[in-house]
Amino acid sequence: MMRVLAKIAYDGSAFSGFAPQKEQGIVSVSNTLYKILSRVGIDSKILAAGRTDKGVHASAQMIAFDVTHRWDLAYLRTLLNKKSYPYIFFISLRYVSEDFHPRFWATWRAYRYLVGLQMPNPFSARFVSYEQFGDIHRLQEALRLFMGSHDFVFFKKQGTHSKDSIRTIMQSYAYVYRDFLIVHIRANGFLRAQVRLMLGASFSYARGELSKPQLQAQIDAQSRYHSTPVSPNGLYLCGVGYSSMSVSTMLSSGEKIL
């Protein structure tokens, strides 16, 4: 048995989220991946670096699956992309050690949020948000408040099951590029809907609807003042990182990334 690590991108608007769904008629990313792999004769459990919510996209999700014989990965990637078109794309494949886990070995994950500065365009509406984000300087100030380790109990979707809600934010900033406001947030991990709730509160502060003491109190897990998440349309899981040590043991006998 050999383990393959794949970097994939997908259009989240086509799915109910990444997590498997048992109900008939509900299409998830993982359910679709199982069908794609089975169509090329691969019957394996799928491991993922994280679970994106309904409507959230990915430009760099990491998944792992096992194969019973050694594939030519260039050929396998071509085969998988023919089966997964148009909503999922396999960016790269590599062989990794059999104990590699894309979630537990990850040291950070990053999300990018795109907000259109122009009037809503129906051809990009599934991939770009059109939020009123307020003053960009106040937005930058709000995003800086999230830096460091905090208990995000008031920045997670109700019903979230996790051992604890403490996460460490490593980067949190916004910038304007062409016709978009882009927010980048990187952390050691995220709770369900955490990024969308963080952005909702930050935009509210930038619009002058939420005071700095109120935002700080919610970040400090003292009280909840804002609970409306931003739209998932413009949100992308854009990166997953691994330590240099794990990367050195990740590849089996010098495998190249395909």
Structure tokens, 160: 């979230």
75 annotated binding-site participant: no
* Distance between CA atoms of residues 97 and 253, nearest Å: 10
3-state SS assignment for residue 200: helix
Catalytic residue among 43, 53, 99, 151: 53
* pLDDT at residue 253, as a whole number: 43
Q: What is the pLDDT along the chain (258 residues), one digit of tens a residue?
A: 999 999 999 999 999 999 998 887 789 999 999 999 999 999 999 999 999 999 999 999 999 999 999 999 999 999 999 999 999 999 999 999 999 999 999 999 999 999 999 988 899 999 999 999 999 999 999 999 999 999 999 999 976 667 899 999 999 999 999 999 999 999 999 999 999 999 999 999 999 999 999 999 999 999 999 999 999 999 999 999 998 756 555 655 445 445
* pLDDT at residue 254, as a whole number: 44
Domains defined along the chain, listed by start:
2-104 (3.30.70.580), 107-237 (3.30.70.660)
Do 212 and 86 contact (CB within 8 A), yes or no? no
* pLDDT at residue 257, as a whole number: 47
Global pTM value: 0.93
* pLDDT at residue 249, as a whole number: 56
* pLDDT at residue 21, as a whole number: 85
* pLDDT at residue 39, as a whole number: 97
* pLDDT at residue 104, as a whole number: 96
Q: 175 to each of 21, 70, 145, 184, how far by Cα in Å?
A: 36, 44, 16, 9
Q: Dihedral sign, CA of 161, 166, 167, 173?
A: positive
Return the closest-CA partner of residue 165 out of 137, 205, 197.
197
Q: What's the farthest any 2 CA atoms get from each other in the chain?
A: 59
Catalytic residue status for 164: no
Question: Which amino acid appears at position 111 of this protein?
Answer: Y
* pLDDT at residue 120, as a whole number: 85
* pLDDT at residue 258, as a whole number: 54
